[in-house]
């Protein structure tokens, strides 16, 4: 009735209702003492309690049947579909909902977009779709480099409600690249969800793809190497066009930053696949990258250039090599070290800090990387500043942690914390921290930043970036303040003083930076006076501030400071660095240049805002100068260490960079400085540890140019540095022979390792583990399992395009096996045709209780989607939705209430006299009660008293062992009547005043006293008196 039915989840419990008659039989007897009405009422309540309990056990439900239909449109937004067709999808679904949704029935419509991921654009909604101007906001959450139909259908299934029939309309080309859509689609059909499909025909266009370049898995130096390049011409031949595409194939081999062209061959490709094969020889051990590229003669013959490149990797084992990176502003400082390492048969290659590596592949040829007295940022002017990016630092760390390469830092006045490396990933990889956490060990620095770059394009963004970079370079004990204009010159934090220690306040400072909105500062002088007061305030508070520095960024239009303010900065030895940005013309400002010159600071003229972070990194290094400890003639204190084996005694050295030894059991200390003796943890000279699968180490003094120049003439120089470098280098020898092959397929990289010993016999039961570093420098661990004799297989997800570098560990102490895999482009760029088979299979699935779906064919273009509207996607050929609602918890509560009423009826007796009394009392209070009513009420009470007295007399008479004579009965009756008469109320008696009488006259026998008197007289008679039949 009304679309609502009653159902039971466990109907077999309803058999207990057969026990209801037994309940009536036993209950009818047990409550026989109740009155007729109460008896049947209690029996009814008890029966209701029993029925409700049975319904609860059977889990009673209310089932609602709905005519509503919900349709969710699933739109394929992957890159294999042209942008115009993706826009037409939105137009189609909006018009289809307007055309076919039945508002009276309460139909709903929703939209899900998907690529590699799926996201809800519009949840099921009982109105027309609120998509404005065809914009899909959910696309910000979706990567379009893959087609994951499985994920989209799972999300659609989870988005349906139970109170309507369900249908999914899939708009796609059917080219699934991730997942298994058919398994999910069958589950949808099993659950009664219908599937319609709108196929997207991909336009016929000329297309050539380089599918892959393959190399042998075991490449040896000096032997020929066969290279295979697979090309696929996907152009369809027609009567007018034979489909041939002309162009040239170029194969290059990269070795570090060197690039050699192996082949450049013109080719005419017929439709279909073609394999280009050639041979070449590798004469040097190294890590190589091969790239194959197809360049068409006519651009129109290749519609997707993204799939014209493929790459592969080859690792030819040999003697290890070392990369030493030095500061380009100070070249030649490590020439002597390089010369001595080469004399010890260690191959060393120099790299300048302004020509750094750009990929992880370039680092694979080296077994150890040395940073020699290298600051993070170098350069004197805004145009020639160079620095390590966060990504390059990440490459260095991952190359050691995951790929097993050694990483060493050699000191100097521009290294460690003094070089701006604090709070970076490189610091995490080293056995020491680059900051000193105890202000008593070294003096601290103070930095104030004045922000006036709001008129720069994206000025607020760049000011936040440079402030964050400066905070990174400061130590925990250093002070920092920031002044900006917001209606007036204001400190960003720190109250009136404005400068706070960075360590305990770093997170708070970063949070406030995110809310900073600096305005256009009218003049410099007030802000400079505030800064000077802040510097003096922290000095007055007892802070051991050794260096005070200020950085001003501005376009130069505020009024310059007066001479007295500038002189106060000069007298306080506070240097001011100025950064001029060009917002009102070319970069450059005479007042800013003069301010920097007068105070001894640095002046920068910036045209590219990307140079600003590097400038602030460089300037913040000035605050870290107290970390440099110079004390001539120090003799290092040594500890047992593998690097120091066979070395007895070190010459004196004159300085080092102070650090803090990490509190970790893996850290091995080799040398410490004698000064400061009370803080040996801050006097580390040599320390190493194992980081991931690689080794990292620090030598906080230099290699002989400034502080350790006595070491260059020392006979143990070669031995010490060669042992240090070899200790850190990645192992190159294994006890067995390992060949590695990798293949990219279905979004995964499969790695196959074949292991043999020196006798070419298979190595079994090895515990191989691997690590992959993806194009975004994220590491992925994977395990290899043995599948046959000497054969091990593992795999990992590769959902990003780019190079994956693999490191496989054969066992403890073994050299890692390195290789790589490349995903040159997404599988989306391989698809050129509609997958009609998948489309028809999806539409043919028949939902339980309904009809199979339809393939909705028609022209699909912007402004021409009306033909698709002929099919009603809201048609009701699906099973009606039945939603269930459990009501047994409500019945259980009701059962408890009825049970209470049942007990109340059986145990509590309620009279009805109180009703009349209550009524009369209320009536008297409201309307007043007449005297007659009061007299009648008194007479009624007297009659009740009489009845009770009569009953009491009869009871006593029955209990007595004698019979009262007639005269006694009459006398007793007369006494009662006299008592009643004497106590009968009268209007005159009520008004008369009672007069006291004599005690003998006013004493009258009460009814009870006369009964007692009669009883005493009866006892005085002879025993056989009344009961003796013979008496007279």
- The least confident of 152-156, 230-234, 525-529 is 230-234
Q: Is residue 114 part of a domain?
A: yes
pLDDT in tens, 209-222: 898 898 887 787 88
State yes or no: pLDDT of 985 exceeds 70. Answer: no
CA distance 881 to 867: 30
Average pLDDT over residues 117-122: 93
> Strand 479-485 to strand 500-501: parallel, antiparallel, or no bridges (unpaired)?
antiparallel
pLDDT by residue (tens digit) across 318-330?
777 899 999 999 9
Whether residue 399 sits in one domain with residue 272: no
Element (DSSP H or E) covering residue 698: strand 694-699
SS3 label, residue 1004: coil
pLDDT band at residue 913, thresholds of 50, 70 and 90?
low
The C-alpha angle with vertex 917 and arms to 916 and 921, in degrees rounded to 5, equals: 120
Q: Identify the pLDDT of residue 733.
A: 62
Average pLDDT of the residues in 180-188: 94
On whether both 471 and 592 belong to a single domain, the answer is yes
Range name among 201-205, 212-216, 932-936 with the lowest pLDDT average: 932-936
Is there a single domain that holds both residue 423 and residue 443? no
- In this predicted structure, the answer to whether residue 171 has a pLDDT above a threshold of 90 is yes
- R_g (Cα) of the chain, nearest Å: 50
Q: Choose the most confident range, by mean pLDDT, from 251-260, 480-489, 536-545, 1010-1019.
A: 480-489
Provide long-range contacts, Cβ within 8 A and 24+ apart, for 589-592.
589/554, 589/555, 589/556, 590/556, 591/556, 591/560, 592/552, 592/554, 592/556
Q: Are 384 and 608 in contact (CB under 8 A)?
A: no
Q: Residue 500: is its pLDDT beyond 80? A: yes
Could you tell me if 206 and 245 are in contact, meaning their C-beta atoms sit under 8 angstroms apart?
A: yes
Distance (Å, whole) CA 158 – CA 425: 41
Residue 826 placed within a domain: no
Q: CATH code at 119?
A: 3.40.50.410
pLDDT-based confidence at residue 734 (cuts at 50, 70, 90): low
Whether residue 485 is found in the same domain as residue 406: no
Instruction: Tell me, yes or no, whether 958 lies in a domain.
Output: no
Of the candidates 786, 820, 854, which is a domain's last residue?
820
pLDDT for the residue 412: 94
Q: Do residues 552 and 450 lie in contact, with contact meaning Cβ atoms separated by under 8 Å?
A: yes
Number of H helices, E strands in the chain: 24, 44
Which one is predicted more confidently, 725 or 386? 725
759, pLDDT greater than 50: yes
Are residue 142 and residue 221 in the same domain, yes or no?
A: no
Torsional class of 416: left (φ above 0), alpha (ψ -120 to 50), beta (otherwise): left
> Using CA atoms, how far apart are residues 831 and 292, in angstroms rounded to an integer?
20
Chain centroid to Cα 304, Å, comes to 35
Q: What is the DSSP string of 865-887?
A: -GGGGGS-TT---SPPEEEEEE-
pTM above 0.85, yes or no: no
Two tokens at 1005?
A: 């026998």
Name residues whose C-beta falls within 8 Å of residue 85's C-beta, 6 or more positions apart in sequence.
Answer: 200, 860, 861
Q: What is the pLDDT averaged over residues 139-153? A: 90
Task: Check which CATH number belongs to the domain holding 265 and give it.
Answer: 2.60.40.10
Is the distance from CB of 233 to CB of 272 less than 8 angstroms?
A: yes
Q: Is there a domain that residue 1004 lies in?
A: no
- The average confidence (pLDDT) of the chain is 84
* pLDDT range class, residue 454, cuts 50, 70, 90: low
Pair 535, 461 in one domain? yes
Beta bridge partners of 136: none
Residue 1021 lies in a domain: no
pLDDT of residue 1027: 43
Among candidate residues 729, 760, 792, the one where a domain is terminated: 729
- Reported as a pLDDT band with limits 50, 70 and 90, residue 969 is very low
Other beta carbons less than 10 A from residue 19's beta carbon: 10
Q: Of 291, 318, 345, which closes a domain?
A: 318
Stretch 677-698: mean pLDDT = 93
Asked whether residue 223 falls in the same domain as residue 347, the answer is no
- Across the beta sheet with 208-214, the strand order is 208-214, 224-233, 272-281
696 or 973: which carries more pLDDT confidence? 696
Give yes or no: residues 326 and 404 share one domain.
yes
Q: Tell me, yes or no, whether 1023 lies in a domain.
A: no
Could you tell me the CA-to-CA distances from 236 to 174, 201, 241, 828 in Å, in that order?
Answer: 19, 14, 8, 18
Give the model's pLDDT for residue 252: 95
Q: From CA 906, how far away is CA 903, in angstroms rounded?
A: 5
Return the SS3 of 229.
strand
For residue 589, pLDDT beyond 50: yes
Tell me what pLDDT residue 562 has. Answer: 92
The Cα 555–Cα 561 span in angstroms is: 15
Q: Looking at the structure, tell me whether residues 788 and 847 fall in a common domain.
A: no
- The tens digit of pLDDT for each residue in 842-870 reads 999 999 989 999 999 988 888 888 999 99
Q: What range does the domain containing 140 cover?
A: 68-201+833-879
Per residue in 47-64, pLDDT (tens digit) is 898 899 998 998 888 877
Mind listing the pLDDT tens digit for each residue in 938-962?
677 777 777 777 877 776 666 554 4
Q: Are residues 891 and 792 in the same domain?
A: no
How much is the pLDDT for 1028? Answer: 42
Question: How does residue 238 score in pLDDT terms, banded at 50, 70 and 90?
Answer: confident
Distance, C-alpha 238 to centroid of its chain: 52
SS3 948: helix
Q: Are residues 468 and 388 in the same domain?
A: no
pLDDT at residue 989 in the model: 40
> Whole-angstrom Cα distance, residue 876 to residue 164?
10
Number of domains in the chain: 7
Instruction: Using DSSP, state whether 945 is helix, strand or coil.
Output: helix
Let me know if residue 558 belongs to a domain.
Answer: yes
More confident residue, 651 or 741: 651
The Cα 505–Cα 989 span in angstroms is: 101
Least confident of 306-320, 350-364, 553-567, 914-928: 914-928
Rounded to a whole number, what is the largest CA-CA distance in the chain? Answer: 164
Residue 1001, domain member (yes or no):
no
What is the CB-side half-sphere exposure of residue 391 using CA atoms within 13 A?
9
Length of the chain: 1032
* Distance, first Cα to last Cα, the chain: 91
Looking at residue 719, its pLDDT comes to 95
Contacts of 847 (CB under 8 A, 6+ apart): 188, 189, 190, 191, 192, 193, 194, 195, 878, 879
Rounded average pLDDT over 734-739:
72
What percent of the chain has pLDDT above 90? 43
Residue 180 CB partners (closer than 8 Å, separation 6+) = 150
pLDDT for 32 equals 63
pLDDT at residue 669 in the model: 95
Q: In 3-state terms, what secondary structure has residue 665?
A: coil
Q: Which residues pair with 226 in a beta bridge?
A: 279
pLDDT over 70 percentage in the chain: 87
Q: What is the pLDDT of residue 982?
A: 45
Do 125 and 191 have their domain in common? yes
Q: Is omega for the bond preceding 106 within 30 degrees of 0, making it cis?
A: no
């Amino acid at each position: 009735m009304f679309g609502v039915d009653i159902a039971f989840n466990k109907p077999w419990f309803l058999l207990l209702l057969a026990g209801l008659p037994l309940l009536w039989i036993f209950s009818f007897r047990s409550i026989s003492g109740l009155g007729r009405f109460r008896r049947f009422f209690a029996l009814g309540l008890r029966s209701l309690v029993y029925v409700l309990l049975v319904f609860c056990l059977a889990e009673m439900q209310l089932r609602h049947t709905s005519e509503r239909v919900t349709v969710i449109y699933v739109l394929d937004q992957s890159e294999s579909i042209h942008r115009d067709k993706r826009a037409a999808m939105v137009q189609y679904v909006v018009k289809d909902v307007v055309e076919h949704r039945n508002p009276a029935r309460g139909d709903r419509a929703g939209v899900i977009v998907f690529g590699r991921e799926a996201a809800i654009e519009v949840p099921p909604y009982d109105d027309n779709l609120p998509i404005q101007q065809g914009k899909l906001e959910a696309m910000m959450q979706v990567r379009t480099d893959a087609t994951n139909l499985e994920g989209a259908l799972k999300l659609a299934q989870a988005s349906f409600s139970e109170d309507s029939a369900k249908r999914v309309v899939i708009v796609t080309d059917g080219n699934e690249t991730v997942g298994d859509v058919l398994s999910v689609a069958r589950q949808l059909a099993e659950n009664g969800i219908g599937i319609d499909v709108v196929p997207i025909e991909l336009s016929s266009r000329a297309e050539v793809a380089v599918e892959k370049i393959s190399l042998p898995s075991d490449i040896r130096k000096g032997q020929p190497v066969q290279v295979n390049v697979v090309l696929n011409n996907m152009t369809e031949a027609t009567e007018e066009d034979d489909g041939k595409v002309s162009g040239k194939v170029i194969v290059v081999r990269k070795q570090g930053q060197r690039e050699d062209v192996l082949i450049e061959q013109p080719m005419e490709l017929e439709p279909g696949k073609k394999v280009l094969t050639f041979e070449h020889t590798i004469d040097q051990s190294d890590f190589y990258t091969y790239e194959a590229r197809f360049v068409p003669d006519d651009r129109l013959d290749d519609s997707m250039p993204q799939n014209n490149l493929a790459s592969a990797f080859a690792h030819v084992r040999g003697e290890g090599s070392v990369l030493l990176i030095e500061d380009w502003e100070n070249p030649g400082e490590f020439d002597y070290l390089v010369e001595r390492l080469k004399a010890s048969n260690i191959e060393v290659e120099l790299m300048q800090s302004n020509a750094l590596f750009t990929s992880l592949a370039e680092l694979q040829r080296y077994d150890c990387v040395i940073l020699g007295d290298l600051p993070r940022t170098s350069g004197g002017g805004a145009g020639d500043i160079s620095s390590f990016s966060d990504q390059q630092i990440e490459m260095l760390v991952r190359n050691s942690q995951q790929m097993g390469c050694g990483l060493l830092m050699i000191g100097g006045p521009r290294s460690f914390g003094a070089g701006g490396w604090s709070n970076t990933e490189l610091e995490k990889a080293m056995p020491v921290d680059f900051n000193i956490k105890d202000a008593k060990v070294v003096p601290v620095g103070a930095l104030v930043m004045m922000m006036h770059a709001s008129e720069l394009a994206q000025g607020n963004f760049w000011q936040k970036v440079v402030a964050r970079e400066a905070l990174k370079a400061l130590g925990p004990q250093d002070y920092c303040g920031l002044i900006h204009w917001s209606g007036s010159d204001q400190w960003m934090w720190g109250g009136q003083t404005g400068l706070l220690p960075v360590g305990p306040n770093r997170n708070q400072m970063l949070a406030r930076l995110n809310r900073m909105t600096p305005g256009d500062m009218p003049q410099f002088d007030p802000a400079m006076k505030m800064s000077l007061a802040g510097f003096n305030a922290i000095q007055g508070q007892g802070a051991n501030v050794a260096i005070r520095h200020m950085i001003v960024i501005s376009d130069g239009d505020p009024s310059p400071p007066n001479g007295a303010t500038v002189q106060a900065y000069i007298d306080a030895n506070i240097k001011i660095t100025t950064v001029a940005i060009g917002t009102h013309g070319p970069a450059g400002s005479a007042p800013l240049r003069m301010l920097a010159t007068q105070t001894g600071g640095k002046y920068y003229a910036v045209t590219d805002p990307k140079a600003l972070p590097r400038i602030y990194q460089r300037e913040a290094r000035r605050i870290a100068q107290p970390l440099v400890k110079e004390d001539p003639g120090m003799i290092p204190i040594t500890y047992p260490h593998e690097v120091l084996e066979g070395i007895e005694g070190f010459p004196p050295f004159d300085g080092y960079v102070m650090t803090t030894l990490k509190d970790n059991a893996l850290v091995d200390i080799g040398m410490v400085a004698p000064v400061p003796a009370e803080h040996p943890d801050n006097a580390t000279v040599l320390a190493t540890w194992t980081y991931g699968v690689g080794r990292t180490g620090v030598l906080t003094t230099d290699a002989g140019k400034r502080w350790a120049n006595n070491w260059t003439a020392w006979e143990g120089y070669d031995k010490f540095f060669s042992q240090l470098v070899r200790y850190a280098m990645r192992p190159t020898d294994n006890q067995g022979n390992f060949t590695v092959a990798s293949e990219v397929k279905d979004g995964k990289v499969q790695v196959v390792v074949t292991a043999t010993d020196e006798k070419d016999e298979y190595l079994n039961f090895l515990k191989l583990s691997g690590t992959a570093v993806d194009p975004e420098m994220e590491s992925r661990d994977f395990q290899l399992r043995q599948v046959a004799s000497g054969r091990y297989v593992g795999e990992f997800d590769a959902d990003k395009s780019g190079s994956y570098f693999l490191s496989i560990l054969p066992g403890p102490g073994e050299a890692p096996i390195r290789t790589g895999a490349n995903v040159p482009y997404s599988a989306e760029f391989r698809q050129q045709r509609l997958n009609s088979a998948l489309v028809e299979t999806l539409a043919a699935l028949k939902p339980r209780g309904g009809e199979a779906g339809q393939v909705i064919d028609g022209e699909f273009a912007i402004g021409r989607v009306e033909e698709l509207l002929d099919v009603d996607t809201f048609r009701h050929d699906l099973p009606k939705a039945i939603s269930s609602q459990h009501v047994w918890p409500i019945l259980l509560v009701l059962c408890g209430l009825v049970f209470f009423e049942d007990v109340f009826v059986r145990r509590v007796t309620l009279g009805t006299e109180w009703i009349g009394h209550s009524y009369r009392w209320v009536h008297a209070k409201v309307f007043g009660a007449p005297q007659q009513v009061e007299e009648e009420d008194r007479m009624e009470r007297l009659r009740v008293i009489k009845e009770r007295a009569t009953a009491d007399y009869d009871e006593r008479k029955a209990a007595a062992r004698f019979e009262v004579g007639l005269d006694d009965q009459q006398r007793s009756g007369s006494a009662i009547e006299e008592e009643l008469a004497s106590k009968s109320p009268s209007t005159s008696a009520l008004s008369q005043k009672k007069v006291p009488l004599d005690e003998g006259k006013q004493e009258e026998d009460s009814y009870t006293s006369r009964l007692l008197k009669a009883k005493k007289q009866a006892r005085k008679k002879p025993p056989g008196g009344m009961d003796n039949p013979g008496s007279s």
